[in-house]
C-alpha cells in the first residue's frame, strides 16, 4: 500500500506533518510494504483556496491513500472520486502516522470537518 502524507519538511520518517494537504511544501509517499520513501515537492503549493489539484501535484505517483490533518472539500472529493482514501492524521510525524496506518487506527476523513481556508490549522 502506498500512502501520501503532506509534510512541512523533507526529513524522511522524521518529517513533520503539514497542517493542510494542498498547502504542504512536500508530500512523502510511503510504501508500507517495502518501507520505501519517495519525497515529492508540491508544485501547486501556492494555489488559491478551492483550486487545489491534488492529482496534478502527485502526477506519475501511484497512491492508495492520503493521510492528512486538514484538507479542503474540493481536494477531498477529487481524491475520493479517483478511488484514493483520505484518512485523518493522528500524529505529528510521518513515523507516527505510518505506525497508526499499519495498526489500522486512522479514521476516514469526515466530510463535515474539511477546511474552509488555508489557515484553518
User: Is residue 50 in a domain?
Assistant: yes
Residue 82 C-alpha cell reads as 479517483
pTM: 0.86
How many structural domains does the chain have? Answer: 1
Domain span including residue 87: 2-109
Q: What is the pLDDT of residue 117?
A: 46
Q: What is the pLDDT of residue 77?
A: 87
- Phi, psi angle pair for 25, to nearest 5°: -65, -30
Q: What is the pLDDT of residue 10?
A: 95
Residue 37 C-alpha cell reads as 520513501
**CA neighbours within 13 Å on the CB side: how many for 121?**
19
User: Is residue 119 in a domain?
Assistant: no
DSSP for 30-68 reads: EETTT--EEEEE-TTTTPPTT---HHHHTTT---SEEEE
User: Is residue 57 in a domain?
Assistant: yes
The owner of cell 483520505 is 86
User: Is residue 53 in a domain?
Assistant: yes
Residue ranges, the chain, pLDDT below 50: 47, 116-121
User: Is residue 23 in a domain?
Assistant: yes
User: Residue 50 sits in a domain of what CATH number?
Assistant: 3.30.420.130
User: Is residue 13 in a domain?
Assistant: yes
Q: What is the pLDDT of residue 112?
A: 53
Q: What is the pLDDT of residue 78?
A: 85
Amino acid at each position: 500500500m502506498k500512502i501520501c502524507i503532506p509534510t512541512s519538511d523533507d526529513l524522511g520518517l522524521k518529517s513533520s506533518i503539514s497542517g493542510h494537504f494542498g498547502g504542504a511544501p512536500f508530500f512523502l509517499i510511503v510504501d508500507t510494504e517495502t518501507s520505501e520513501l519517495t519525497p515529492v515537492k508540491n508544485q501547486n503549493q501556492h494555489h488559491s483556496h478551492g483550486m487545489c489539484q491534488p492529482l496534478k501535484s502527485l502526477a506519475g505517483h501511484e497512491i492508495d491513500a492520503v493521510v492528512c490533518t486538514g484538507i479542503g472539500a474540493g481536494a477531498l472529493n477529487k481524491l475520493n472520486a479517483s478511488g484514493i482514501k483520505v484518512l485523518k492524521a493522528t500524529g505529528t510525524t510521518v513515523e507516527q502516522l505510518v505506525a497508526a496506518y499499519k495498526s489500522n487506527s486512522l479514521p476516514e476523513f469526515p466530510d463535515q470537518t474539511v477546511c474552509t481556508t488555508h489557515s484553518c490549522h
